[in-house]
Structure 1
Amino acid sequence: MSKSVYQHGTMAKFVPGLYDGTKKLVDILKEGDTGLGTGDGMDGELIIIKGIPFRVTSTGEVTIVPEDEMIPFCTVHFADFSRLNLFNRIERKELEDEILERTHYRNIIFAIKIEGTFSNMKTRTVIKQHKPYAPLHKLEQKQIEFEKEQVAGTLISYYFPELYNGLNVSGFHHHFLADDHSIGGHVLDFVLEQGEVSIQPFDTFVQQNPIHDKEFLEADYSLFDLHDSISNLEN
């Protein structure tokens, strides 16, 4: 089983408004065939399934991300999931609690894949940003939300313990894509009607910083509340 997860960039990088892409998607995909992230300039929500990088835009359209696009943030791994259980009629918070209770993985990084039918799915995407970029906490006003009932699809998620907050989102971070591409994006809430939950734990976390990005090197993060800025947008 693959025990390594790779990440380019950090969530904290976005807090002062650093949204420019810093690594080509084609190179990120060398590190994994499954994952999630965002595009250049915070252009949509990315979900990578079986090596295909889908983008859900702020219009709700689903497209394939060009491999030469520069990406500011992305977490990926090579899928080697193990089935955890079949679940029926369970809400997001209850399911998350159940996963932690069954696995005892509260203090390690792991990935989840859920394939099934959702009686309710609520997602959002951020409108693509243009320079001069606003800081992260102001993007709450630039989100588009979507909601659909009775939709089949795939949810990919990473769980990061609190000790990794800032590098990623602490807790669960879900992205979704409907089988018919009718809805997708960063997940705000869901009710799983029926589906199979698979899990993949990691003992190695590979995190790459954009060391050639001048803005990143010179940013003063002491001026921002990293935890609140990330939590307010992502949760």
Structure 2
Amino acid sequence: METTVVCSCVQQVAKSFAYPTKIEADSELNEIYQTSLMSALIDGVYDGNMTIADLLEHGDFGLGTFNDLDGEFVAFDSKVHQLRGDGSARVAAMDQKTPFAVMTHFRPTVSGELMTALDKCEVQGIIDKLVGSPNLFCAFRIAGRFVRVETRTVQRQTKPYRPMLQAIERQPVFKFEETAGTLIGFRCPPYVQGINVAGFHVHYITDDRRGGGHVLDYRLLEGKLEIAKISKLRIDLPQTDSFQQATLHSKEMSKAIEAAEG
């Protein structure tokens, strides 16, 4: 889990947020649904049987990838977009399949406006402060204007698949400057490393829906932050041969995930 450097303004920004009581009462209903494991993806398990249509039965908000590691996906408001290896974005087809995805029915328990320019580490510090405990999950969304967003998107792979660290050796990196868009992400506790990604896992898509990717870094100018605290995790494990034969635990797995996810 990456270390978050907290700026001096975190306390002040956190105090400005609203805690809507009518939503807070429903926070126990929030659940993460996950198909497969991050460790399987790291090991090169890039084929799954779950379709985008199937995923939307488990949530209206999430992220993941497509079979063949064909880019990233970002989902919110029940709409799913494919963020491709050339930095572009397109609407995903309902019959496209995923080897790894994380979804939730997004019910914010905390919301507020970010009116001060903030770097990634500062935003993460605010989210940590608002969630309170490092042992809970959360989903979050930031819709706003960005000074810059740096992303990467994995190129489509062909069989025989290489492990992810080899697949991303020459991954393209894109810089979106002075754009309006949406960050959607999850923050997971350290104890789920390998099951999911410990720490922050975030994707970005521009408001014109023409570009985005897996987020490496950003600077926010202003925007609305919504957070859903989550205390339930449900996982469906694939029944594929590749998953059942994969190496899902090793001493180097944590380092590999940190390198792959940035």
Please confirm whether the aligned pair reaches a TM-score higher than 0.5, indicating the same fold: yes
Give SS of 2:195's match.
Answer: coil
Give SS of 1:60's match.
Answer: coil
Deviations 1:105-135 (A, max 9, x none): 3111100010100111111100000001111
- Percent identity over paired residues: 30
Mean Cα deviation higher: 132-141 or 80-89: 80-89
Deviation of 1:224 after TM superposition, in Å, equals 6.4
- In structure 1, what is the Cα distance between the partners aligned to 2:199 and 2:249? 23
Give SS of 1:221's match.
Answer: coil
Whether 1:213 aligns to 2:233 is no
The answer for unaligned runs of 5 or more in structure 2 is 1-25
Whether 1:85 aligns to 2:94 is no
* Counterpart position of 2:39: 12
- In structure 2, what is the Cα distance between the partners aligned to 1:222 and 1:90? 36
Deviations 1:5-28 (A, max 9, x none): 101111100122111123122111
- In structure 2, what is the Cα distance between the partners aligned to 1:22 and 1:223? 25
Counterpart of 1:127 in structure 2: which amino acid?
Q
- In structure 1, what is the Cα distance between the partners aligned to 2:249 and 2:228? 35
Give SS of 1:35's match.
Answer: strand
Counterpart of 2:155 in structure 1: which amino acid?
I
Decide whether aligned partners of structure 1 residues 36 and 206 sit closer, same or farther in structure 2, where only a CA change above 3 A counts. same
* Counterpart position of 2:205: 177
RMSD over aligned Cα, in angstroms? Answer: 1.4
- In structure 1, what is the Cα distance between the partners aligned to 2:89 and 2:134? 33
Q: For 1:1-235, what aligned pairs fall within 5 Å after superposition?
A: 1=26, 2-87=29-114, 88-210=116-238, 212-222=239-249, 225-235=252-262
- Does the 8 A contact of 1:81 with 1:113 survive in 2? no
- In structure 2, what is the Cα distance between the partners aligned to 1:21 and 1:82? 32
- In structure 1, what is the Cα distance between the partners aligned to 2:43 and 2:118? 37
4+ residue segments displaced more than 6 Å: none
Give SS of 1:20's match.
Answer: coil
Q: In the comparison of the two structures, how many residue pairs are matched? A: 234
With normalisation by structure 2, the TM-score equals 0.85
- In structure 2, what is the Cα distance between the partners aligned to 1:167 and 1:148? 30
Deviations 1:202-225 (A, max 9, x none): 121111100x21121122335662
Give SS of 1:180's match.
Answer: coil
With normalisation by structure 1, the TM-score equals 0.95
Larger radius of gyration: 2
Structure having the larger proportion of residues in strand: 1
Counterpart of 1:112 in structure 2: which amino acid?
F
Deviation of 1:65 after TM superposition, in Å, equals 1.4
